[in-house]
Structure 1
Amino acid sequence: MSSPALPPNKRRRVTLACSLCRRRKSRCSGDHPCALCQELGAECQYPDSSTPSNLTVGRSYIAQLEQRLQDIESSLQQLHSAQNDGRAILSNRGDHDTPANESLSTVEEHRSVLFPSTLGSHDAAELGEIDISENSIDGMGAMKFTNEEDCGFFGPSSNIAFMRYISRAILQAKSGNELADAVSPTDQRRRGIVNVSKSRPPSPGPTPGRADNLTRNAGVNIYALPSEERTWSLIQQYFLKTGQLLPFIHEPSFCKTYVQMKSERFRAVRRTWLGLLNIILAIAASLSAKDDIPVDKRIQESDIYYQRANGLCDRDSKRNASLEMVQYLLILGQYLQGTQKSVQAWTTHGLAISAAYQLGLHSPDANQGFSPLECEIRKRTWYGCILLDRTLSMTFGRPCTIPESYIKLDMPLSDMQMLGPSLEMEPCPQLDGAFFTAAIKLYTILYNVLDSCYGQNLGFEDPASVSSAISRVFDGQHQLDLWRLQLVPSLGFRIWDTLMNPEDVEKMDKDLIICHRFSIVLSVRYNNLRILLHRRHLESLLKSLGTSDDNSGNAEKRLLRQMSLNSVESCVESAISIISIVHCITLSSSWRRELLGAWNYSLYYTFNAALVIFASLMIISASKEPLNDTSVGIKVNHSRPYIENAIEALRRLDSGNRVIERCVEYLSQLSLILNAMDRNESNPSNSRILNFPVEHSSDIFQSSGLESYMDLGEFMVDGDFDFLADFLVTQNGKHQT
């Protein structure tokens, strides 16, 4: 009997097959390597054993987890890359982000600046959101945006409006006939609307190496700072010039905060304070020529600080309000106006006013709950808003944002120390408080002039009667006289309303440089406001050139004309004073060149004064009645050399500055027109038609920098400059023919 057959061996189940067997759907022996891989001579690989084979969750959920893990790894990789880039920027002194004269501090010192320990996970994640550049493609890639037109209103008090009258007078002198309403591009903008995007060439492409996004192109690290030596130098320059003229930042507290932040390696620094520091560095580097740095290097350096400040505070400025934020926005507005970014300057100023109202800086009741020092800082910040509001309203020709009836605070205190790095000085009378008070009172008169003579720049003509027009000027002049003769001397300052000679500058004592600077700045502002008060009558005479109105039988019109001629004389007197001040100081050396304010304000006042002299000379030359032997005629004819003085002063003001060079070129072309007018006086047979001289004229506009990508903002628009250049070309061609 045969033994029963043994049951066959049960095949061993392999829980995990190798990758090759899984693909071939073959039985895998489970060995390492398995039998099939040995037979085929293939590499035997097994999948990760940590992944369970009997999953009880959906594969879509696993895919989501894997995607989240990839996102986290990608974010960590970006942060790690950003940290490395920041270290490279901080340590590489030759990097394109670092100005030629700037040496950055050590990496260890600024590691906490790049990633402060107080930043939470939310702030750290937002590092990738810093991108202030515009993109023409929308986020979904569904549409492409075209460049939007920038339209700006430049009302009657602006230089652009004044130059419309000058352009019209030049055309009248060219044709010798009465003009139609629409004879030039500037006259077509009678209501003041200027298409800014069409009035200038398209902006050039971005400069290589300049990027505003930290994580995408690591061009500008918003958490970096220059060396301690350079930082202190720029801080001191700010408080020695701009900080004195608008003293709303408490210098001792600011310097103490910087020292404290530096000692703590910026572990607990506020973004708004760091942004305020950077915009102070930006405006100090931009508006000061003390270091003898070439203008292009200075602009490059200041632009880096501006980008850092913008990256730190741009988002918060639209949703958070604090005293530091208002101060930041005020200085940013100054910086933008100095760099001829008129659109951004006006918008930034609006944000500052809104934040100031939100904080109650305008309210005496709201300020009572603060310490005396903080109350004074809040008050001065509010007055800083007011002064900049009046300045922008005057230069851009737009309505004031803050009505005079909203100003209820007391004047700044004179015994409160705002300037000086030490906190241990005893309270004593401070010149900055007296200067600030004088400036506020003067700008109150400015508001009244804008209101009475320019209709608050609302852009409509006010057909005032003769008596009303005369009373407005008399009332404004009376206010100016009281300010000049009573208030200013009581505060210890002097107003230069006559000629300044080089000897007057040489006699100034260096120990009294602050007092001299305040006196000179107030003098230039006073004379400019006096011009603004009388300029409407100057414009009316320019407008009437070439008309056939006979005023001999109209006593009222004769009175108005005489009043207008008196205003011309007043304008010329103040214009000569401004040009003589700027000319004498720019011709001086060493510390005396620091007596002027920021170069952009000196440019504005000097350029405007030269325009006034040119317009007055045209009025006297084209007048139907003889005026050369009258007091106004003698005064105006003697002012002719001051246009050349203005050109020389501007050339010395800031060498290499493209905005200044453009204004100098404009004045040079106006000087050529005056030469043509002088020719006509020697040729009575053709005295009514302007003949342009040929000498040196064809090269003027070819080398004038018309390709410059500058928006001249409050000075002019490119259409005015191009119109004058075309006119000179036409006249030159006719003369040669």
Structure 2
Amino acid sequence: MTPDRGSNHGTKRKRGERRRASLACETCRKQKEKCEGGQPCWRCQRLGRPCHFQGQPIPTTTSPCSSSVPVASVPGDENGRIQNLEAIARHFLGDVPLDKENIGRIADKLRSSTDTTLSETALDINEPFDVHFVSNNMAHYSGEFSHWNFSQKLRRKMSCQIDRLDSRVCVSHRKSSKGSDDIQQVKEYWRPTQLQSSPEIIVETMMHLPPRSIADFLITMFFKYVEINCFYIERKWIEEKVALCYSSTKTYTAIDFPWVCSVFAVLAIGTQVAHMEDQKPKPDSEITEELSLCSEDSVGLVFYHAACKLIPDVLLVASHESVQVFLLLATYSLPVSTGGLAYTYYGLAMKMAIQNGMHRKYQGGNCDSRTIEVRNRLFWTAYTVEKYVSIMHGRPISIARSEINADMPRDCPTFESPRFANLTAFHTLISYLEEVSGTLAQFKRCPKRLLSEYLERLIRLRTSIKQWWDSLPATEECRDLCSQGPNFRQNSHLRLCYLLIYVYMGRAFIFVDDRKEPGEVITGAGNDSGRARRSILVDDCVSSALDILNTLQSLSDHVGLCRASYNEFSACRAAILVILAESLNSRKSQRLQDGLHRGMDLIRQMVGGSSSESEISYLESIEAAISQLLAATGDDSVLPQSDQIPTSAYSKFKDWTQSLKKDKSTSGNVELSSFSPLAHPTPGTEGFANLELNDMAAFFDPDWANGDFEFDTYNFSSLSK
């Protein structure tokens, strides 16, 4: 018990609990208020004002609410910590005594209350998920709180009862008991095998295989130009499967559908990038003729259709090889229909991955480490690329991040491609893009008073992204842009993704009107701060757009631009549109005009395939818009062609495709455009070709209408008015 502090006095106080401080603080004296004692005094501490003393207080005098720990008995820093803790306690508990006994009673009460609450509410409803491997590349994911999980839980409980019953029955009776056998024998049903097609379809599909040398060439093209910063397949694995395709003794079963489909998908993708090996200089007439022939696209379409015939059975097998199939088909479709067909294929890849439990960490011991690593790499590729496409095209993603606990890919030297540093860097970049997208989405629904807070969050994200990027390796991997380096193309694509984040972050603020009305006066540090932050984001956006063109120009000069590369085309297109948008605010800017002309020259190089008249009109519409907007004229320069001799492998491939072209009738040829969504102009929209994918039309509306966000321009402007 605490001794009675008033027992030393001979007479009883007139006002029992009220005590006068032994030394009043100067702040209370000046305010002519009663000082409540303590150092600092409780009144000053409660009111959040400074407390000053001229003399030293008598240490024996304490406040009813003060700590029982003598101030002189603890170091200065510990004294400050105790006072801060007491302030926190009073904030939540009110003006209560903070002596040792009372604090102990409060702590015991809180502990007992917590224990009681846990015992009443912590019900045992845990149903852990299960990933059961049916075969080496096929697994079944039970799901949490699912019908399957509950049935298995019930089955486990019933099995105990069955065991007890069986122990009471003789062996002979148990053997003759049909009901007992029926209970214990459960038919496993993992895939709807009764719906699968006959493997004879695979034999028919093999009739579309090219000569072995052509197949080897297309596979080489795939790994050289496509699998650069994402993992799709192992080269050794696909080469073994191709060898089986050309084996006359191979017999096929239902589980072979996915890998056969993968082979034809890889061949189709290889035709899209095969032109990268052609460095032969051509006159303009020959270039036009080649674009109209489109032999690579026609052959690629044959491979693609062969793969598509197997899709129903690939869905039925639903193994991690099925995930590979849809990732490859999505990659083939990226330059054809990014927000439509490719997005759908990525969704199927994610659904196959979830069905196999690839989004969950595998904790069993029935699968080897290499298979687990392949599963992890495939899942994170599907999740990351789908998220990238979804954000850029305003689509929802297939799975929330909170549902994922799969291990990240590990650095395994046995995996030849892609480079592990680039692989993880790409995943991190898309994670940052997701944060930026989430912050921008808040501008649609947040109150105006929070606009500056979200704007500041974007500035902090901008700083974090730059610091992370600067910390990446600058030699050979990630940030090494030496044209002679082994990873020049991979690193350039990584930089394009990095710059696109700044473009995406700042383009929504380009049309925020900061101009003052006549006679309007804008004052206030907050308004100036909001304008400055937006200016930083817009400046980063425009400078990043110009840097994108510099990166693409470097690619064009040294290794060439790929007309089927989604990264290169979309980056160039986004840069051109941002520069065009900024030209509305900064007319007659020579830097922007030069960037526009250079961007147009670059995007022309990426128009590939059959290059239909609508694609040409799309480019002409951009040039017409630039000419009308800036009232500037200029001749389009033709980039110099390389004098290198084409490789013999590509020559053989071209000869073979041209021979196939001649064997087909004109009506039987299917023209395939590398960017066919732009090849379907609607009546009355000839000026802009396709309004859905041509974001130029959005720049003539104050709202950014790219399908991603519909920002309230007035809300943004309110930061500066």
- TM-score normalized by the length of structure 1: 0.54
SS of equivalent residue, structure 2 residue 410: coil
Per the alignment, do residues 398 and 714 of structure 1 end up closer, same or farther by CA in structure 2, a change over 3 Å counting? farther
Per the alignment, do residues 400 and 490 of structure 1 end up closer, same or farther by CA in structure 2, a change over 3 Å counting? farther
d(CA) in 2 for partners of 1:386 and 1:322?
17
SS of equivalent residue, structure 1 residue 338: coil
Number of the residue aligned with 1:613: 579
Number of the residue aligned with 1:569: 539
CA shift digits 1:17-63 (9 cap, x unpaired):
xxxxxxxxxxxxxxxxxxxxxxxxxxxxxxxxxxxxxxxxxxxxxxx
Number of the residue aligned with 1:440: 427
Q: Which runs of 5+ in 2 are unaligned?
A: 1-192, 279-289, 637-670, 697-721
Number of the residue aligned with 1:652: 605
Number of the residue aligned with 1:481: 466
Q: Determine if the alignment matches structure 1 residue 249 to structure 2 residue 217.
A: no
d(CA) in 2 for partners of 1:381 and 1:366?
18
Number of the residue aligned with 2:630: 675
Q: Determine if the alignment matches structure 1 residue 540 to structure 2 residue 537.
A: no
Q: Determine if the alignment matches structure 1 residue 271 to structure 2 residue 238.
A: no
Q: Determine if the alignment matches structure 1 residue 339 to structure 2 residue 336.
A: yes
Per the alignment, do residues 710 and 277 of structure 1 end up closer, same or farther by CA in structure 2, a change over 3 Å counting? closer
- Report the AA paired with residue 337 of structure 2: Q
d(CA) in 1 for partners of 2:519 and 2:431?
38
Report the CA distance between 1:557 and its aligned residue: 3.7
Number of the residue aligned with 1:524: 496
Number of the residue aligned with 2:591: 638
d(CA) in 1 for partners of 2:480 and 2:518?
42
The 8 Å contact of residues 615 and 678 in structure 2, kept in 1 or not, is answered as: no
Per the alignment, do residues 349 and 537 of structure 1 end up closer, same or farther by CA in structure 2, a change over 3 Å counting? same
Per the alignment, do residues 237 and 446 of structure 1 end up closer, same or farther by CA in structure 2, a change over 3 Å counting? same
Report the CA distance between 1:475 and its aligned residue: 2.2
For residues 507-522 of structure 1, the aligned pairs below 5 Å read: 508-509=483-484, 512-513=485-486, 515-522=487-494
Which of residues 453, 474, 494 in structure 1 aligns to 2:479? 494
Q: Which runs of 5+ in 1 are unaligned?
A: 1-118, 131-213, 215-219, 420-429, 497-506, 622-627, 629-635, 679-692, 697-706, 729-737
Number of the residue aligned with 2:452: 467
Number of the residue aligned with 2:101: none
- Report the AA paired with residue 652 of structure 1: Q
- Report the AA paired with residue 539 of structure 2: E
Report the CA distance between 1:492 and its aligned residue: 3.4
Report the CA distance between 1:234 and its aligned residue: 0.6
Per the alignment, do residues 560 and 695 of structure 1 end up closer, same or farther by CA in structure 2, a change over 3 Å counting? same
d(CA) in 2 for partners of 1:555 and 1:718?
49
- Report the AA paired with residue 269 of structure 2: I
- Report the AA paired with residue 508 of structure 1: S
Number of the residue aligned with 1:91: none
SS of equivalent residue, structure 2 residue 208: coil
d(CA) in 2 for partners of 1:540 and 1:450?
18
Number of the residue aligned with 2:554: 584
CA shift digits 1:562-588 (9 cap, x unpaired):
322222211111111110111232234
d(CA) in 2 for partners of 1:550 and 1:222?
75
The 8 Å contact of residues 339 and 390 in structure 2, kept in 1 or not, is answered as: no
Number of the residue aligned with 1:387: 384
Per the alignment, do residues 391 and 250 of structure 1 end up closer, same or farther by CA in structure 2, a change over 3 Å counting? same
Report the CA distance between 1:713 and its aligned residue: 4.9
CA shift digits 1:345-394 (9 cap, x unpaired):
22222211111001011111257642222111101100111122122112
Number of the residue aligned with 1:362: 359
Which of residues 276, 282, 307 in structure 2 aligns to 1:309? 307
The 8 Å contact of residues 341 and 711 in structure 1, kept in 2 or not, is answered as: no
d(CA) in 1 for partners of 2:276 and 2:235?
20
Per the alignment, do residues 725 and 379 of structure 1 end up closer, same or farther by CA in structure 2, a change over 3 Å counting? closer
Number of the residue aligned with 1:602: 568
Report the CA distance between 1:670 and its aligned residue: 2.8
Per the alignment, do residues 324 and 464 of structure 1 end up closer, same or farther by CA in structure 2, a change over 3 Å counting? farther
Which of residues 556, 560, 564 in structure 2 aligns to 1:593? 560
d(CA) in 2 for partners of 1:716 and 1:395?
21
d(CA) in 1 for partners of 2:688 and 2:207?
47
SS of equivalent residue, structure 1 residue 243: coil
Which of residues 403, 415, 418 in structure 1 aligns to 2:415? 418
CA shift digits 1:601-659 (9 cap, x unpaired):
211100100111111121134xxxxxx9xxxxxxx652320110111112223456448
- Report the AA paired with residue 343 of structure 1: G
The 8 Å contact of residues 572 and 639 in structure 1, kept in 2 or not, is answered as: no
d(CA) in 2 for partners of 1:534 and 1:556?
20
SS of equivalent residue, structure 1 residue 257: helix
SS of equivalent residue, structure 2 residue 310: helix
Aligned residue-pair number? 450
The 8 Å contact of residues 367 and 375 in structure 1, kept in 2 or not, is answered as: no
d(CA) in 1 for partners of 2:679 and 2:453?
30
Number of the residue aligned with 1:299: 297
Which of residues 266, 270, 275 in structure 2 aligns to 1:284? 270
Number of the residue aligned with 2:639: none
CA shift digits 1:265-307 (9 cap, x unpaired):
4423612211110011111212442354757111111111110
Per the alignment, do residues 467 and 712 of structure 1 end up closer, same or farther by CA in structure 2, a change over 3 Å counting? farther
Report sequence identity in percent. 18
Per the alignment, do residues 468 and 418 of structure 1 end up closer, same or farther by CA in structure 2, a change over 3 Å counting? same
d(CA) in 1 for partners of 2:272 and 2:593?
33
For residues 186-265 of structure 1, the aligned pairs below 5 Å read: 223-265=207-249
